[in-house]
Each structure stands twice: as structure tokens, then as C-alpha cells.
A = this chain, B = another copy of it.
Amino acid sequence: MAADFDHIKQKLKQFAHDREWDNYHSPKNIAMALTVEAAELQEIFQWMTEEESLRLNKQKLQAVKHEIADVFLYLLTISRVLDIDILEAAAEKLALNEIKYPLDKARGNAKKYTEL
């Protein structure tokens, strides 16, 4: 299946446009929908142990894949509506995280940077 980043962004834009959903797609509403999808992803794991969450059966893995896609599609939508370049945002945040979580303090340690 063709799965190029720019192609997906373009198809997604067309999809919402064709359905005249732009009116519903205020950043506030999309952010709500995005959290709901994130919670649906999380729900799959909530009664599993951490170990179980690593070895999903085929059906659960497929469900996870769909929920990841849902979160991703809303993430692309809110980025488009607010004219944010998501790849640039990610690169910028990664650079910031390298400062916030210096190797010598963060290694083997999942504390929040404010607690380091």
C-alpha cells in the first residue's frame, strides 16, 4: 500500500474537504477527538501487564494499529489547520529534549526533567 508522508497529508485534507467537515474542525474540537483516540489506544492495554503489552496477539495488534492511525490522522489534521509543520516541530522538540535530558543524568532514569 502506498504510504508516503506527503501523500497521506494530501489525501487526509481531501477527505475532510469532500465531507465538508472543516466547520467541525476547530483546533479545540480536533484536540478533543485526538485525546479520545489516545484513550482508545490506551484502553487496549489497561488491564494487561507490561509484559503482556509487548506480546499482543494478531487481533489486538491490528486494533492497536488502527488506533495509532486514528491518533496520527488527527495529529496531521490539527497541524494542518494551525499551519504547523509536524516534522519540524518534532525535530525542534528532539533538540530541546537533548538539553532537558542530558545523558549523564537521564540514563536509566525515567524521572521528569523537573525532578532530575
A residues bordering B, Cβ < 8 Å? 1-5, 7-8, 11-12, 15, 18-21, 23-24, 26-29, 31-36, 38-51, 53-54, 56, 61, 64-66, 68-73, 75-76, 78-79, 81-82, 84-98, 101, 103, 106-111
Contacts and interface: CB of A to CB of B under 8 A. Distances in A.
Given A3-B87, A72-B75, A87-B4, A110 B21 contact: yes
A53 B24 contact: no
Contacts of A1: 88, 91-92, 95
Which of A42, A51, A108 has the most CB atoms of chain B within a 10 A radius of its CB?
A42
The 7 closest A-B pairs by CB, nearest first: A39-B39, A69-B93, A26-B50, A3-B87, A28-B53, A47-B110, A38-B38
